[in-house]
Amino acid sequence: MTKRTVTVVLITFFILLAAGFMTYYYNVTREQPKKLPILGNPGHTVRDFSFLNQEGQPITKKDVDGKIRVVEYFFTTCKGICPKMNENMAKVYQAFRGNSQVLILSHSVDPKKDTVEAMKAYSLRFDADPKQWLFLTGDKKELYDMARYSYLVTAADDTATVDIASDFIHTDRFVLVDKGGRIRGQYEGTNIGSVNQLIGDIKELLKEE
């Protein structure tokens, strides 16, 4: 074997060695899928419910099972945090619009005023598809029980001891629920950074599911 042949063989060997090392390095160091936490006590899942959407159609747990859900609580006459929350929720909606695996459930905290008609009018501000962005109203106690005991949005709230007529929930939390009804995250609905994190976490959850 000539000196030139040896040189070519050595060069080829080192090229192949470098390629193999780069492939190994990429496989070891590439970003791993993000594993979202599961919130609440072990085994906690969303309970059964029955509300009316903006079309006056009954919506139950059965209708949303098997879907990723983003949940919020608001009221249509709110002049405080709610407009900003739903402006940000619209960004979530646009990010997944047309994706049948992702739903948004916007619950009223003032069902006496938030009739089906009021919820419908409010939903039109966002061109919300009632099959994907659902504005839900119904029995106040059931709405509030879902907030506290299913979605855990007011876990540290002691107002649950007052009578239901006087009770009032006002939270900026967006809640991420997976296809199995488990709570996978809570986010500040008025904070665009937190909302962007929510959008990213939904994408991760779609991969996981």
* Residues contacting residue 187 through CB under 8 Å, at least 6 positions apart: 173, 174, 175, 176, 194, 195, 197, 198
Q: What is the largest CA-CA distance in the chain?
A: 96
The partner residues of 107 in beta bridges, in order of sequence, read 73, 136
Question: Could you give the angle at which helices 82-96 and 192-208 cross, rounded to 10 degrees?
Answer: 30
pLDDT, tens digit, 9 for 90 and up, residues 173-205: 999 999 999 999 999 999 999 999 999 999 999
Per-residue pLDDT of the chain (209 residues; tens, 9 = 90+): 565 554 544 455 445 554 454 544 444 334 555 789 999 999 999 999 999 999 999 999 999 999 999 999 999 999 999 999 999 999 999 999 999 999 999 999 999 999 999 999 999 999 999 999 999 999 999 999 999 999 999 754 555 556 666 677 889 999 999 999 999 999 999 999 999 999 999 999 999 85
Residue with tokens 């006002």: 170
pLDDT, tens digit, 9 for 90 and up, residues 107-128: 999 999 999 999 999 999 999 9
Q: Could you tell me the residue ranges of all domains in the chain?
A: 1-30, 50-208
CATH topology of domain 50-208: Glutaredoxin (3.40.30)
Q: Which two tokens stand for residue 173?
A: 């939390």
